[in-house]
Structure 1
Amino acid sequence: MNDINELIKATTVGFIDYTGMKVTKAGEGHAEGEIEIQPHHLNPAGALHGGLIFSLMDTIGGFATRTLGVLPTTLCSNINYLRPTMGTKVLKAKADVIKRGKNISVVRIDLLNDQDVLVASGASNYSDLSGRVKDESIKDLRLEQPE
Structure 2
Amino acid sequence: MKILSAVPGTVRASVTIRSENLNRLGSLHGGAICSLTDTMGSLALATKGLYSTGVSTDINTTFVKAGGGAGDEVHAIGTVVSLGKTLATTRFELRHPVSDAVLAYGSHTKFVGKALGHPENVDFDETGNHVVKGSPPSEWPAH
Instruction: Please classify the TM superposition score into its range, dividing by the shorter chain length.
Output: 0.7 to 0.9
Q: Identify the residue that residue 120 of structure 1 maps to in structure 2.
A: 104
- Going from structure 1 to structure 2, the CA distance change for 1:28 and 1:131 (only over 3 Å counts) comes to closer
Distance in 1 separating the partners of 2:106 and 2:3: 18
CA distance in 2: counterparts of 1:25 and 1:62, whole angstroms: 15
Count residues with an aligned counterpart.
120
**Is the Cα–Cα contact under 8 Å of residues 62 and 74 in structure 1 kept in the other structure?**
no
Correspondence for 1:59 among 19, 32, 39: 39
Q: Deviations over 1:31-87 (max 9, x none)?
A: 112210111211110111111111122111111111112322222111110111244
Structure 1 contact 89–114 (Cα < 8 Å) conserved: no
Alpha-carbon distance change, 131 to 97 in structure 1, aligned in 2, over 3 angstroms:
closer
Task: Specify whether residues 23 and 86 from structure 1 end up closer, same or farther in structure 2 by C-alpha distance, changes over 3 A only.
Answer: closer
Taking only aligned residues, the RMSD between alpha carbons, in angstroms, comes to 2.1
Q: Which runs of 5+ in 1 are unaligned?
A: 1-20, 134-138
Deviation at 1:131, TM superposition (A): 5.8
* Residue from 83, 97, 106 that aligns with 2:65: 83
Report % sequence identity: 27
Which structure is higher in helix share?
Answer: 1
Question: Partner of 1:109: helix, strand, or coil?
Answer: strand
TM-score (norm 2): 0.74
TM-score, L = length of structure 1 = 0.72
Q: Which has the larger radius of gyration?
A: 2
Code of the aligned partner of 2:91: R
Unaligned runs of 5+ in 2: 124-131, 134-143
User: Are 2:94 and 1:111 aligned?
Assistant: yes
The answer as to 2:73 corresponding to 1:93 is no
Q: Give yes or no for the alignment of 1:130 onto 2:115.
A: yes
Distance 2:46 2:88 in 1: 10
User: In structure 2, the residue corresponding to 1:59 is in which secondary structure?
Assistant: helix
Is the contact made by 1:100 and 1:106 (CA closer than 8 Å) also made in structure 2? yes
